Amino acid sequence: MSVLTFDHVSYQYPGERFNIIDGLSFQVQEGSLHCILGVSGCGKSTIFRMINGLLQPRAGTIRVNGMPVGGQKRACGYMPQKDLLFPWRTVGENLALPLEIQGGLGRTVRLAMVDAALCDVGLAGCRDKRPDELSGGMRQRAAFARTMLTGSDLLLLDEPFSALDFLTRISMQEWLLEQWQKTGKTILFITHDVEEALFLSSSVLVVESTPIRALKEIPVPLGYPRSRKDLARTDIIELREALIGMLRKQVEA
C-alpha cells in the first residue's frame, strides 16, 4: 500500500519568482526505506515541510495513508537535522512531549511509554539527564525515540546524522537499519551523502535538478541486513560514481 502520495505538487516561496517544487508526483510504499539524495539547496527539506504541513502546496495534493495532509493529526513523525531537544527539560521530559501534546494519557502511562522508548534506543539510564550531558549520537537517538513516540508510521528524517563525526555517523546508520527492521515503520531520509544513501536505501530517490519536477528512483542491488563491506562491491562502487555524476551535473548546471 502507498503510505505517501505526491500528486502534481507545486510550491513557490513567497518572494521567489519560480516554483521550487514543480508538478512533483511520487509514491512511497508502506514499510520501505528511501533516501532522498540531492545537493544542498535543491529543495529537499521543502518536500518534508509540505508533508508535515508547515508549508502548503500551491497546487496538487499530498496524501498520507490515503488522506490529504492538513487537518490530519500525527500524519508523520518529523526529525530535523538539529535535534531540537529542549535543554531545560530532562531527556525523559523531552520524550514525553509528543505524548503530552497528544493528550488523554495519564502520567504513569506516559512514563512507562518513555521508559520503553529509551530502552529501545539504548538510553535506559538517561531519563533524568539533561540533553547537554549526552554525546551527539545519544542526542540523535533520543530525538529519534521522541519522533517514534508521535505514534506515526511514517518517519521523515532530515539529514539527522550529518553533524556527527564519521565513526558515530556510520554506527548510527547501522543502528537506524536495525530500528527500521524492528519497527516496520516507513522511513524517508534526506541526505546529500551518496554513501549514506546507498547504505540505507532500498532505492535512492535522486533530485537531479531544481525546480524539482521528478525524483529519479535508482534501486540499490543489496538486501537487508547489509554491512558496510557491501559498499566495496564493484557494482556498488559503480553505482556510487554514477550517483556522484548525477549530483555533479546539478552543481555545474
Ligand X SMILES: Nc1ncnc2c1ncn2[C@@H]1O[C@H](COP(=O)(O)OP(=O)(O)O)[C@@H](O)[C@H]1O
Taking the complex as a whole, the smallest distance from the CB of residue 15 to ligand X amounts, in Å, to: 6
The region of 37-45, 113-121, 137-145, 164-172 touching ligand X under the rule CB under 6 A is 37-45
Q: How many residues bind Mg ion (CB under 5 A)?
A: 1
153 vs 158, beta carbon nearer ligand X: 158
103: left (phi over 0), alpha (psi -120 to 50) or beta: left
Q: Pull the grid cell for residue 88.
A: 531545560
Contact flag: residue 16 with ligand X (CB under 6 A) = yes
Contact flag: residue 250 with ligand X (CB under 6 A) = no
Taking the complex as a whole, the smallest distance from the CB of residue 51 to ligand X amounts, in Å, to: 12
Q: Which listed residue (3, 33, 34, 44) binds ligand X by CB under 6 A?
A: 44
- Please check whether residue 69 is in contact with residue 60, taking contact to mean a CB–CB distance below 8 angstroms: no
Contact flag: residue 147 with Mg ion (CB under 5 A) = no
Contact flag: residue 45 with Mg ion (CB under 5 A) = yes
Contact flag: residue 160 with ligand X (CB under 6 A) = no
26 vs 95, beta carbon nearer ligand X: 26
d(CA 129, CA 96): 14
Contact flag: residue 57 with ligand X (CB under 6 A) = no
46 vs 61, beta carbon nearer ligand X: 46
**Angle at the Cα of 166 (from 197 to 225), degrees rounded to 5?**
45
Q: How many residues bind ligand X (CB under 6 A)?
A: 12
- Please check whether residue 181 is in contact with residue 224, taking contact to mean a CB–CB distance below 8 angstroms: yes
Taking the complex as a whole, the smallest distance from the CB of residue 35 to Mg ion amounts, in Å, to: 13
d(CA 193, CA 2): 26
Q: Residue 132 binds which entry of Mg ion, ligand X, none, with Cβ cut-offs from 5 to 8 Å by kind? A: none
Contact flag: residue 34 with ligand X (CB under 6 A) = no
Taking the complex as a whole, the smallest distance from the CB of residue 172 to Mg ion amounts, in Å, to: 18
Contact flag: residue 210 with Mg ion (CB under 5 A) = no
* Among the listed residues 87, 77, 86, 84, the one whose alpha carbon sits nearest the alpha carbon of residue 117: 77
Interface with ligand X (CB under 6 A): 13, 15-16, 20, 38, 40-46
Interface with Mg ion (CB under 5 A): 45
